[in-house]
Amino acid sequence: MYKKRSGMAATRLFCSCSPLISCLCSSSSSSSTSCSSYSPSPSLTDEFKGSSMVELMKKEGTTLGLTVSGGIDKDGKPRVSNLRQGGIAARSDQLNVGDYIKSVNGINLTKFRHDEIISLLKNVGERVVLEVEYELPPVSVQGSGVMFKNVEVTLHKEGNTFGFVIRGGAHEDRNKSRPVTITTIRPGGPADREGTIKPGDRLLSIDGIRLHGTSHAEAMSILKQCGQEATLLIEYDVSIMDSIASASGPLLVEVAKPLGSSLGVALSTSMYCNKQVIIIDKVKPASIADRCGALHAGDHILSVDGTSMEYCTLAEATQLLASACEHVKMEILPHHQTRLALKASDHVKVQRSNRPLPWESGTNNNSNFLPYQHYNTYHPDQSCSQAKQKSSPNNPLSLASSTVGLAGQVVHTETTEVTLVSDSIMGFGIQLQGGVFATETLTSPPLIAYIDHDSPAERCGVLQIGDRLLSINGIPTEDSTLEETNQLLRDSSITSKVTLEIEFDVAESVIPSSGTFHVKLPKKPGVELGITIS
């Protein structure tokens, strides 16, 4: 049953996350959120200029399938103005519309008229070597408005390509060095049909071969020489929606998606306040929903395009999302508003029970108090992670060895080592935060800013948002940059294993020395409490 929803005011967010562009969502002065996408500059300066050699093979009597504009008589350098779909040039996945052609088979085109360029391309022979210039892809910076995530994608070659164009790579001029960046997805090609990769994504590795430090030509060679099936490690941008974290009450989220594409969320039902609700069960990595940063696992969906979910079945809700057109309007209640706040007083509740112990002859009203000792008795799940607690020399009762936490709670710090085994889809599932710029040297350890739902980091049950990352595989993170720290994590994802040294705060609590107590602990599905009973 469908029912139109009305009467509830909600903060409005707008996320234009079309797979045709790489966009960043940033908070505006109002309660809405808009996106900006990169636009090439009208003039190509040397600082942002890249070049490569493109080799094309054509049979006699056939054309390359590209349209060239410009020439000495047309007031412009020869330029690719169109690539015919299905043509030789388009299927080579080496050219973009807008590329400048400097030479054809070694013949410089600087002084050629437009008609001479067309004639040369028609009569050049079966082997055509183009020297092209293009604008280098922009550098994506992880900061307050965006964070990076990784995803593995397996593609099957079509011909000798995967259906995307790459640009960037290492350069002898450091100012021209860029990550190997995917700039174009060919419609109907392998990458387009698989659907995960979007323009602007960075290609980190191919079948485990790291591309960090490789030139454009070397990256192209690795792509050509790999097998018919290859696993690509992709880095992509996810918008950080600060307005969601600070919002109270429902949010109206408007997400732009191309016709026929999937939003990338799986729905399920749950009970909340004794009522069945529709929630987001999973968000597909690198999907439109994931990239926009506004939707997360656990969010309650209140309405879709004005239709209330109150009386909808799971099948009806799923169908509503699937049939939505270019803009999906969803009213949601973010998951952080529906769970227990992570405050010391709420995180663990201890209440004295009046029930006498079975071995006591009478009630003991001893009023002596002993300090509560923190023990990490996590029993490792071998498929997920292993944790090793380091003993703290500090006495929890001594204020000299303690500090005051954010909520005014007296805390002391402890450290632990956690070994995570990478997930083939989600990686380790943690995102870091530290400093203002990714290239800034950190004066304190980076923080865990986000933990992906159902990732190895969440399933291990040890890591929490706000924990400080002291080292990765024994390499200290302090005095390095955030980008260098993220690179250590990316390197570890290739070997599928990483050991993290974590520092965290433990609240100082005082409880009676004896008696029976009721203890309430919040628990996530699939995550252990961290105690062993013997």
| pLDDT of 447 over the 60 cut | yes
Domain around 318: 10-37+240-337
| pLDDT of 395 over the 70 cut | no
| pLDDT of 408 over the 60 cut | no
Query: Are the C-beta atoms of residues 469 and 463 closer than 8 Å to each other?
Result: no
Question: How high is the pLDDT of residue 450?
Answer: 81
227 & 288 share domain: no
262 & 319 share domain: yes
| pLDDT of 297 over the 80 cut | yes
Does residue 16 sit within a domain?
yes
107 & 192 share domain: no
Question: How high is the pLDDT of residue 445?
Answer: 85
- Domain boundary (322, 337, 352) is at 337
232 & 153 share domain: yes
Q: What are phi and psi of 529, to 5 degrees?
A: -70, -30
131 & 202 share domain: no
348 & 473 share domain: yes
Residue with the larger pLDDT of the pair 388 and 380: 388
3-state secondary structure 265-286: EEEEEEEECCEEEEEEEEECCC
Q: Rounded CA gap, 236 and 234, in Å?
A: 6
- Domain boundary (103, 135, 167) is at 135
Q: Rounded CA gap, 334 and 354, in Å?
A: 39
Q: Rounded CA gap, 447 and 175, in Å?
A: 30
Q: Rounded CA gap, 34 and 179, in Å?
A: 26
Does residue 78 sit within a domain?
yes
Domain with residue 174: its CATH number is 2.30.42.10
- Domain boundary (135, 167, 193) is at 135
Determine how many CB atoms are found less than 10 A away from the CB of residue 398. Answer: 11
Question: How high is the pLDDT of residue 350?
Answer: 42
Q: What are phi and psi of 65, to 5 degrees?
A: 80, 30
Closest CA to 247 of 374, 378, 336: 336
Does residue 108 sit within a domain?
yes
Q: Rounded CA gap, 505 and 195, in Å?
A: 42
Closest CA to 445 of 415, 425, 423: 415
DSSP letters, 52-73, are: EEEEEE--TT----EEEEEETT
User: Where do the H-state alpha helices sit in 236-374?
Assistant: 242-246, 288-292, 314-322, 344-347
Q: Rounded CA gap, 468 and 465, in Å?
A: 9
User: In the chain, pLDDT over 70 holds for what percent of residues?
Assistant: 72
Does residue 525 sit within a domain?
no
For 258-289, the pLDDT digits (tens) are 777 889 999 998 887 778 899 999 999 999 99
User: Per the structure block, which two tokens stand in for 24?
Assistant: 């960043």
Does residue 59 sit within a domain?
yes
Query: Are the C-beta atoms of residues 195 and 166 closer than 8 Å to each other?
Result: no
Question: Has this prediction a pTM greater than 0.75?
Answer: no
Question: How high is the pLDDT of residue 511?
Answer: 58
Closest CA to 395 of 418, 370, 427: 370
Maximum mean pLDDT: which of 25-34, 157-166, 321-330: 157-166
Residue with the larger pLDDT of the pair 438 and 61: 61
374 & 301 share domain: no
Residue with the larger pLDDT of the pair 423 and 79: 79
Q: What are phi and psi of 121, to 5 degrees?
A: -65, -35
390 & 349 share domain: yes
377 & 431 share domain: yes
3-state secondary structure 158-203: ECCECCEEEEEECCCCHHHCEEEEEEEECCCCHHHHHCCCCCCCEE
**CA–centroid distance for 256 within its chain:** 18
Question: How high is the pLDDT of residue 149?
Answer: 92
User: Per the structure block, which two tokens stand in for 132?
Assistant: 């092209």
| pLDDT of 238 over the 70 cut | yes
| pLDDT of 78 over the 50 cut | yes
**CA–centroid distance for 143 within its chain:** 13
For 410-429, the pLDDT digits (tens) are 667 889 999 998 876 678 88
What Cα–Cα distance (Å) separates residue 439 from each residue in 448, 477, 486, 487? 18, 13, 11, 12
* Arithmetic mean of pLDDT over the chain: 76
Q: Which residues in 82-116 are b (16+ Cβ under 10 Å) and which e?
A: ebeeebbbbbbbbbbeebbbbebeeeebeebebee
Q: What are phi and psi of 272, to 5 degrees?
A: -140, 120
Q: What's the number of domains the chain is made of? A: 4
101 & 212 share domain: no
Maximum mean pLDDT: which of 373-382, 468-477, 483-492: 468-477
Q: Euclidean distance between the first and final Cα of the chain, in Å?
A: 51
Does residue 5 sit within a domain?
no
Question: How high is the pLDDT of residue 482?
Answer: 81
Q: To which residue do tokens 């980091």 refer?
A: 457
User: Per the structure block, which two tokens stand in for 284?
Assistant: 């597909």
Confidence class for position 166, pLDDT limits 50, 70, 90: very high
Q: Rounded CA gap, 462 and 500, in Å?
A: 11
Does residue 531 sit within a domain?
no
Question: How high is the pLDDT of residue 351?
Answer: 45
Confidence class for position 26, pLDDT limits 50, 70, 90: very low
Query: Are the C-beta atoms of residues 525 and 339 closer than 8 Å to each other?
Result: no
Confidence class for position 378, pLDDT limits 50, 70, 90: very low
| pLDDT of 253 over the 70 cut | yes
Closest CA to 446 of 463, 474, 425, 466: 466
Confidence class for position 353, pLDDT limits 50, 70, 90: very low
Maximum mean pLDDT: which of 17-31, 327-341, 468-482: 468-482
Question: How high is the pLDDT of residue 220?
Answer: 95
3-class SS of residue 335:
helix
Does residue 284 sit within a domain?
yes
DSSP letters, 67-107, are: EEEEETTTTEEEEEEEE-TTSHHHHTT---TT-EEEEETTE
316 & 459 share domain: no
Confidence class for position 61, pLDDT limits 50, 70, 90: confident
Residues paired with residue 511 on neighbouring β-strands, in sequence order: 370
| pLDDT of 223 over the 90 cut | yes
Q: To which residue do tokens 């609240």 refer?
A: 507
Kind plus residue range of the DSSP H or E element containing 150: strand 146-156
304 & 369 share domain: no
Question: How high is the pLDDT of residue 6?
Answer: 45
Question: How high is the pLDDT of residue 15?
Answer: 62
User: Per the structure block, which two tokens stand in for 18?
Assistant: 């079309």
User: In the chain, pLDDT over 90 holds for what percent of residues?
Assistant: 35
Q: Rounded CA gap, 433 and 237, in Å?
A: 14
Residue with the larger pLDDT of the pair 21 and 317: 317
For 473-509, the pLDDT digits (tens) are 998 888 788 888 888 888 888 788 899 999 988 776 6
